[in-house]
Amino acid sequence: MRPTPSTFDLLLKPLHRWVWTDAHRRARKLLRFAETEAGGGRDLSRAAELTGDPSLRRLFLRHAEDEQRHADLFRQRGRELLSASPRPSRFEANWLAPGERGLDDLRVDSETDESLLAFLHLSEKAAAGRFALYGQVLDGDPDTREMFARVLEDEAFHMNYTRKQLARLAPRKQGLRLWQARAGRLWKAYLRLAIALASVLGTVMLWIQYFVLLPPFALLAKRGARREQPGFRVSRPPTPLPRQY
Amino acid sequence: MRILGISAHYHDSAAALVEDGVPICAVQEERLTRRKNDAAFPLEAIAWCLDHAGMQPEQLDAVVFYEKPMLRFERILTMALRGYPRSWASFPPAMKNELGNKLWVKGTIASELGVPSGRILFTEHHRAHAAAAFFASPTRRAAILTADGVGEWATLSLGRGRIEDDGSASIELRRELRFPHSLGMLYSTFTAYLGFPVNEGEYQVMGLAAYGKPAFSDQVRRMVRRTPDGAFALDLSYFEFHEGARRSFSDRFVAELGPPRRPWDPIDPGTAEGARYADVAASAQLVLEEILVDLARSLHRETGLEDLCYGGGVALNGCANARILRESGFRNLYVPSAPGDAGCALGAALYADRLHFRRQHRAVPDHPYWGPEIDANDLARLAREDGLEVEQCAREVDLIGSVVDELAAGRIVGWMQGCTELGPRALGNRSILAAPHDPAMRDELNRRIKYREEFRPFAPAVPIEHAERFFELPPGGARLGRFMSGVFPVRREWRARLAAVTHVDGTARVQTVERAMAPRFHALLEAYGARTGVPVLLNTSFNLAGEPIVNRAIEGYSTFLRSGLDVLVAGNALVRKRRHVSAKREKAVG
């Protein structure tokens, strides 16, 4: 199985090209990818520690080492680009080029080997497709392009071993597991969106309270602060332990 | 009486179980969930503690949380009001954080454990620190100093503790400093300025400080004014941590010290920029030490006591601890193995036992090994599944002989024995061990195993009987080294032969190992000494960058396979990696 960009990503190729044009933005993205890969590596080593299947354990550990190596590659290239291009870029478009996000909200402890393999397969496939696309749009940066090509070789292996192991462990239910994993990813995407929206709404509500209700209390608090003497205070006597204040 | 102590929601959550006044077990949540510095409500740790004691939640007489949530909320709200309108950006996340879960601890405990709300208690944060430091120490009368970032309001407390002949106990905290005037926050601000992660990178600041000169100490002293009563007050125009979410230092701070380091920039103290970072770190360290020594000295004068029990996250600063011991006048300085928030789980439970339920004090076993125990059979099974040879030694002397052979040949050993430690330091039960002689070993460990900056030192472990021979320990220094809590000079004549554990300034954060506390580790050090003439080993925590210290055999095994470790020992089982150690490393042992 060869990694190919998704149709959706291919449609957005001009946009991806624009996002990756700026060297500073490129560097920041690579540093973010490094963090994500390192986190993914930790998840995979945890998966290796939890599985009872020795061959799967060896594969997960190899995968974890690959992720760590990718993190080092991304970090090193990101640093090189930053030192060559110290100009800050404010707009990073992280939503558009998310790297290997799939493992971010994975709870390895609560997954079975089968569901984990299905999740990893889809996640690696998506990441490999995206990395293939990033390689295509990096015409002006052969070093970064070469780095993505190296990472892509590992991603292809990850895609393939997860699929083969899923077929070994669940020969009759592999399709079902993959659909369940797809539904799970969709559900998590919905949850991310819902949480983000709720967070925005919550922030707006709190700001309204902050600017409408708090000013008089702020005046009192500032007046109280001005009366405070610097230095030691007598410790307040201990309150009964059942009390929360 | 069975009391469960809990710390959570800030960093390093943990649970501890005390039965009839004596700790049964304690563990940090991160060791079980494998998420470093896990701050979540410690469900796994609680479950393990109860399981270990063979107990159901309903059998608990009390569950004690380590701080007063409403009081903390009062501080957060008050600081937002005082910072109005500059606090507009930090207000929503702070409120969401508090109102989301932190404020409802009582409900969380009641629903998760199913205990009646009447059995749920709350200590004040600094009283939990004080109890962890005092009740776990072997003294009966001591001055108490606690210092951290912040609890509810207090950031630093001074007082004394007393255990009477009839076993009744008291802790009297007399005075305190309040947020935002905080030594912990001051040091964390420098940690952030130097591009290290807060609550984790403070060790890096301390390690970096040794490379610099305190060239910025006047500027730092301007940021921390001393007050006439012997305390200090931060000049808040240099800081933003009290009102902003964006960063902890202000533009004025940057104007004084120069541009901050970006987290991804490498540090080379040999370059001008690297030297400036090192000088800033040295200046912050110096000022911190000066303040702590002054506070401890005045506390000694005031109490006239010989012992000082010291808790809170700031007590992890081994350089400052050594200066307090040398210069404050106290004869003994007791720092628990987990002086930070994780230790508060134990402190809260002990506080409730002695001071709320008024039960007689009972001596707390003087060791840090309160967590899950290693199972050698697990390692043997895993290694055999992967086709690795396992050496299972029936006699301890054979195991130790094999490990000494490996260490003396320049190999790096993952060493897992007994129960896991409570606190951030590996003290011989979940350690990576290596020969201490050659600086190449330090570089090897940093590059192949720990994946961390070159300027960070490694610690030595030495049997307590031999500690004076290699290290310049002041009176009380050997005790302070029990949990690796002090940094002391390596004797000049040994620095070349202990190059892997001697920092650039000629010091080391030494662990003094007593036979009664860690018999097998002590025997290993003695055997290594008999072989090489130097009973000292490099001892660093058994983990990789970004991961917590290993707990079970499988985690040690996974770390062993993913890193440059040569040998793994769990209990009496020993596994070697199938590859040859370079001739260079063979020669590394002097």
Residue A213 has pLDDT above 90, yes or no: yes
Whether B24 contacts B82, CB under 8 Å: no
Share of chain A above pLDDT 70, in %: 91
CB contact under 8 A, A235 and B84: no
Contact residues, chain A, for B386 at CB < 8 Å:
54, 57-58
As a CATH number, domain B183-333 is 3.30.420.40
CB contact under 8 A, B355 and A238: yes
CA-closest candidate to residue B290, choices B259, B327, B318, B258: B327
CB contact under 8 A, A232 and B176: yes
In this complex, which of B88, B175, B352 lies closest to A207 when CB atoms are compared?
A: B88
Share of chain B above pLDDT 90, in %: 90
Beta bridge partners of B433: B413, B539
Residue A214 lies in a domain: no
Query: Using the 8-state DSSP alphabet, how is residue B490 labeled?
Result: B
As a CATH number, domain B371-587 is 3.90.870.20
Number of residues that this document lists for chain A: 245
CATH number at residue A71: 1.20.1260.10
The residue in chain A having the minimum alpha-carbon distance to the alpha carbon of residue B357 is A241
In this complex, which of A109, A217, A232 lies closest to B177 when CB atoms are compared?
A: A232
Spatial separation of the C-alpha atoms in residues B281 and B261, rounded to whole Å: 12
Interface predicted TM-score (ipTM): 0.88
pLDDT at B266: 82
What secondary structure does DSSP assign to A73-120, as a single string? HHHHHHHHHHHH-----S---TTTS--SGGGTT--GGG--HHHHHHHH
Contact residues, chain A, for B74 at CB < 8 Å:
245
Type of residue at B449: I
Q: What is the pTM of this model?
A: 0.93
Spatial separation of the C-alpha atoms in residues A152 and A148, rounded to whole Å: 6
Spatial separation of the C-alpha atoms in residues B565 and A125, rounded to whole Å: 33
Please give the average per-residue pLDDT across B546-571, as a whole number. 96
Closest-CA distance of chain B to residue A49, Å: 6
Contact residues, chain B, for A243 at CB < 8 Å:
68, 122
Residue B375: count of CB within 10 angstroms of its CB: 16
Least confident of A187-191, B167-171, B292-296, B372-376: A187-191
As a CATH number, domain B2-128+340-366 is 3.30.420.40
Residue A14: burial class (beta carbons within 10 Å; 0-12, 13-18, 19+): exposed
| Domains of chain A: total | 1
The residue in chain A having the minimum alpha-carbon distance to the alpha carbon of residue B152 is A245
Residue A75 lies in a domain: yes
pLDDT at B225: 94
pLDDT tens digits, A51-62: 999 999 999 999
Least confident of A102-116, B293-307, B379-393, B559-573: A102-116
Residue A199 has pLDDT above 60, yes or no: yes
In this complex, which of A61, A75, A244 lies closest to B106 when CB atoms are compared?
A: A244
Contact residues, chain A, for B265 at CB < 8 Å:
79
Closest-CA distance of chain A to residue B490, Å: 35
Spatial separation of the C-alpha atoms in residues B513 and B472, rounded to whole Å: 16
In this complex, which of A46, A207, A242 lies closest to B121 when CB atoms are compared?
A: A242
- Cα atoms found within 13 Å of the Cα of residue B395, Cβ hemisphere only: 4
Confidence tier at B579 by pLDDT (50, 70, 90): low
In chain B, which segments carry CATH 3.90.870.20?
A: 371-587
Confidence tier at A91 by pLDDT (50, 70, 90): very low
Contact residues, chain B, for A42 at CB < 8 Å:
34, 546-547
Type of residue at A135: G
| A vs B: CB pairs below 8 A | 133
Tokens of B269: 């103290």
The residue in chain A having the minimum alpha-carbon distance to the alpha carbon of residue B84 is A218
Say if B82 is an interface residue toward chain A (CB within 8 Å): yes
- Most B-contacting residue of A106, A200, A235, A236 (CB-CB within 10 A), to test interface: A235
Share of chain B above pLDDT 70, in %: 98
Residue A224 lies in a domain: no
Closest-CA distance of chain B to residue A61, Å: 7
Spatial separation of the C-alpha atoms in residues B434 and B42, rounded to whole Å: 33
Type of residue at B351: Y
pLDDT tens digits, B450-484: 777 778 889 999 999 999 999 999 999 999 999 99
Query: Using the 8-state DSSP alphabet, how is residue B539 labeled?
Result: E
pLDDT at A88: 57
The residue in chain A having the minimum alpha-carbon distance to the alpha carbon of residue B352 is A241
Range of the domain at A51: 7-197
DSSP H helices in B240-361: 251-257, 272-303, 318-327, 341-351
Please give the average per-residue pLDDT across B292-302, as a whole number. 97
In this complex, which of B70, B92, B118 lies closest to A207 when CB atoms are compared?
A: B92
State chain B's mean pLDDT as an integer: 94
Spatial separation of the C-alpha atoms in residues B341 and B16, rounded to whole Å: 12
In chain B, which segments carry CATH 3.30.420.40?
A: 2-128+340-366, 183-333
In this complex, which of B158, B227, B561 lies closest to A61 when CB atoms are compared?
A: B561
CB contact under 8 A, B558 and A243: no
